[in-house]
A and B are shown apart, each in its own frame.
Chain A
Amino acid sequence: MRTAIIGAGQAGRRTAELLRGLDAEREILLLGEETEPPYDRPPLSKEVLLGEERPRGLMQRAAEVYEAQRIALRLGEKVTRIDLGAARLETAAGECIAYDSLVIATGARARGLRIPGADDPRVLTLRSIADARALRARLRTGLRLVVAGAGLIGLEVAAAAIQLGCAVTVLEMGERAMARCVPEAVSARIEAWHRAAGVVLEFGCPLTAIRPQPDAIHLVTGKGEVSADLLLVAVGAIPNMELALDAGIAVDDGILTDADGRTSHPHVFAAGEVARIWQRGAGRHVRFETWQVAQHQPVAVANALCGEQKPYAELPWHWTDQYGRNVQILGTHSAALEWLEREDGGRLIYFGVDPEERVHSAVLIDNGREATPLRRIIAAEKPIQRNRLLDPSVALRQLC
């Protein structure tokens, strides 16, 4: 029996390793387009830019580790077609590979800007370790870097670049930093860190054209023109779901799966960021762009491949590290919640509460020790009096 996994990223690696743990016999094939063995991406916009060649956080194992686990890791192999009828894959090199079950773990790619001039070589995106090294090689003192997008990756790059001595401007179409995932008060704090470090932040400022000149690129924005040496585009990610779409597997902003990771085809699964997973609690499919989903949703997939059910139902969690500060986001941000702030000597908690005083979501700043008690509080769905939430002398573990 052979399971083929397309995409040798974090979710592909996890699926392969977990599957080997559950089944000593089966043949496992892990096919990846990149030439690097699988790695975790969070350090790319942090330690790698600041100069660490191979930070531990990449979780990158040597090729021999895969051999020892009898996982056939094939790098530099792009899958170009899935033939569901024949249960076969085709690769860019022209090879046909038969499978008994298939996992699509193709992740996502950085969204580009569809404006004139966006194909200039001074316009970069950041997704892979190769991208991170290319960007790092160009960040030097005095370089004028413009970042398009004040999301998590754009802001992490801005933080790293200003620490490396670049002159950094962030242009954001929306009104505040990380608006998709944190409440206004948290955006204001993050913006203050950036401004204190010397980053220029411009909101309500869409980029409409790029005018390449020999010595600079001129960026036309809603608020006038900016000159730059380099533009980093960090305006979101697009799931790599074309293989599934062409094969006739159901997709809709991601490959649709049930909580076990199974797609509309019974022998095909999707793992990690490319999957849009059925969430019973929310009553809809959700796609997550987080380390967490690539780490833990493969548990459901590997079990389902072995005929066991371990449905994926985790409270969403992700983090960002900027200027040595750690922000963790639990649950899904919603403007419909009221946001309460608890401060305790620089450690912060923001609770997103509903009118019945139940906590649904939270943001922690430099306060990771409260993540586990908060997860329990959110899962319990019990009303908690706000004076207790706000009182730093009441330990959260007493409230769950």
Chain B
Amino acid sequence: MAWHDVAPEGEFEMDVPKVVQVGEDRVAVFRLADGFYAISDVCTHEYALLSDGFCEEGKIECPLHQACFDIRSGKALDEPAEVDLAIYPTRIDGGVVQFQL
């Protein structure tokens, strides 16, 4: 496990994720009203990148078939997704947002 840099805190817009690839994993990092959250960027239904989806009120909607996930908990909120997303801890280190994987 290691901490990975995403971007300086000030570069994040609300609800607009930044994506980092670590080996085979794609991680999407969001700024929400109460802090930074990191989730796996790949929908658990078929194959789509959630960072291409619609984000609002702490939820991300898959661009393909509109399954919704809670960004804070990774929970799959409705079908066609049933499997929760992996979530990763985040922190701010010297003004830079990081996640742990």
Instruction: Note all chain A residues with C-beta closer than 8 A to B79.
Output: 59, 295
Q: From DSSP, what is the main secondary structure of chain B's interface residues?
A: loop
Bin the interface of chain B by size: 10 to 19
- The verdict on B96 contacting chain A, using a C-beta distance below 8 Å, is no
| Interface stretch of the complex, out of A67-75, A122-130, A370-378 | A370-378
How far is A223 from B66 in the complex, measured between Cα atoms in Å? 42
How far is A321 from B65 in the complex, measured between Cα atoms in Å? 11
Check A56 against B64 for contact (C-beta < 8 Å). no
Check A373 against B64 for contact (C-beta < 8 Å). no
Instruction: Note all chain B residues with C-beta closer than 8 A to A369.
Output: 52-54, 61, 63
Q: Please, what's the 1-or-0 string for B44-82, where 1 marks a CB less than 8 Å from any CB in chain A?
A: 111010001110100001111110000000000001101
Instruction: Note all chain B residues with C-beta closer than 8 A to A43.
Output: 46
- The verdict on A55 contacting chain B, using a C-beta distance below 8 Å, is yes
Instruction: Note all chain A residues with C-beta closer than 8 A to B53.
Output: 368-369
Check B54 against A326 for contact (C-beta < 8 Å). no
Q: Please, what's the 1-or-0 string for A368-393, where 1 marks a CB less than 8 Å from any CB in chain B?
A: 11111100000000000000000000
Report the number of A-B residue pairs with Cβ-Cβ less than 8 Å.
Answer: 46
**A373 and B80 in contact, given A319-B64, A368-B62 (Cβ under 8 angstroms):** no
Q: In the complex, how many angstroms separate the beta carbon of B71 from the nearest chain A beta carbon?
A: 15
**A319 and B63 in contact, given A55-B46, A56-B46 (Cβ under 8 angstroms):** no
Bin the interface of chain A by size: 20 to 34
Q: Please, what's the 1-or-0 string for A29-56, where 1 marks a CB less than 8 Å from any CB in chain B?
A: 0000000000010010001000000011
Check B46 against A368 for contact (C-beta < 8 Å). no
Instruction: Note all chain A residues with C-beta closer than 8 A to B66.
Output: 317, 368, 371-372
- The verdict on A57 contacting chain B, using a C-beta distance below 8 Å, is yes
Q: Which A residues, 1 to 46, have Cβ-Cβ distances below 8 Å to chain B?
A: 40, 43
Check B46 against A372 for contact (C-beta < 8 Å). no
How far is A55 from B66 in the complex, measured between Cα atoms in Å? 18
Interface residue from A57, A317, A326, A372 paired with B80 (Cβ < 8 Å): A57
How far is A295 from B78 in the complex, measured between Cα atoms in Å? 11
Check B52 against A368 for contact (C-beta < 8 Å). yes
Instruction: Note all chain A residues with C-beta closer than 8 A to B45.
Output: 56-57
Check A47 against B46 for contact (C-beta < 8 Å). yes
Instruction: Note all chain A residues with C-beta closer than 8 A to B62.
Output: 368
How far is A370 from B54 in the complex, measured between Cα atoms in Å? 7
Q: In the complex, how many angstroms separate the beta carbon of A306 from the nearest chain B beta carbon?
A: 20
Q: In the complex, how many angstroms separate the beta carbon of B77 from the nearest chain A beta carbon?
A: 14
Interface centre among B52, B63, B82 (most CB of A within 10 A): B63
How far is A161 from B79 in the complex, measured between Cα atoms in Å? 29
Instruction: Note all chain A residues with C-beta closer than 8 A to B44.
Output: 56
Check A319 against B65 for contact (C-beta < 8 Å). yes
Q: Please, what's the 1-or-0 string for A90-117, where 1 marks a CB less than 8 Å from any CB in chain B?
A: 0000000000000000000000000000
How far is A43 from B65 in the complex, measured between Cα atoms in Å? 12
**A368 and B80 in contact, given A56-B45, A56-B46, A373-B54 (Cβ under 8 angstroms):** no
Complex A-B: 8 CB contacts under 8 Å = A56-B44, A59-B80, A59-B82, A326-B63, A368-B54, A369-B52, A371-B66, A372-B61
If A291-B65, A369-B63 are given as contacts, then 13 extra A-B residue pairs at C-beta distance below 8 Å, sorted by A number, are A57-B46, A59-B79, A317-B66, A319-B65, A368-B62, A368-B66, A369-B53, A369-B61, A370-B54, A371-B54, A372-B56, A372-B61, A372-B66
What 6 A-B pairs are tightest by C-beta distance, nearest first? Answer: A368-B63, A369-B54, A372-B54, A57-B46, A369-B63, A369-B53
